[in-house]
């Protein structure tokens, strides 16, 4: 299953709206737990979410604007 960048930012925005800065803690714990369990694909997803959550929470991006990743 593939998600577009905009879909990932929307998901991060929803998580941030629901949980605030704690969403980063949840994502960070998910990365550590999944890596320890050897589930690297899922850990990688949560790492990406952690980065995007940081962007959303710090207002570096508008998750509903046009987003380009280089």
The tens digit of pLDDT for each residue in 12-57 reads 999 999 999 999 999 999 999 999 999 999 999 999 999 999 999 9
Which band of pLDDT confidence, cut at 50, 70 and 90, is reported for residue 70? low
pTM (2 decimals)?
A: 0.85
Query: pLDDT at residue 68 above 80?
Result: no
Query: Of residues 2 and 15, which shows the higher confidence score?
Result: 15
DSSP conformation letters of 18-68? HHTTHHHHHHHHHHHHHHHTT-HHHHHHHHHHHHHHHHHHTTSS-TTS---
**Other residues' Cβ atoms within 10 Å of the Cβ of residue 47:** 17
pLDDT value of residue 69 = 67
């Amino acid at each position: 299953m593939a998600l577009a960048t905009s879909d990932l930012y929307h998901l991060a925005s929803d998580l941030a709206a629901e949980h605030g800065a704690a969403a980063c803690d949840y994502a960070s714990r998910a990365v550590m737990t999944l890596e320890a369990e050897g589930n690297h694909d899922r850990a990688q997803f949560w790492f990406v979410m952690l980065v995007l959550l940081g962007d959303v929470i710090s207002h570096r991006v508008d998750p509903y604007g046009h987003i380009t990743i280089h």
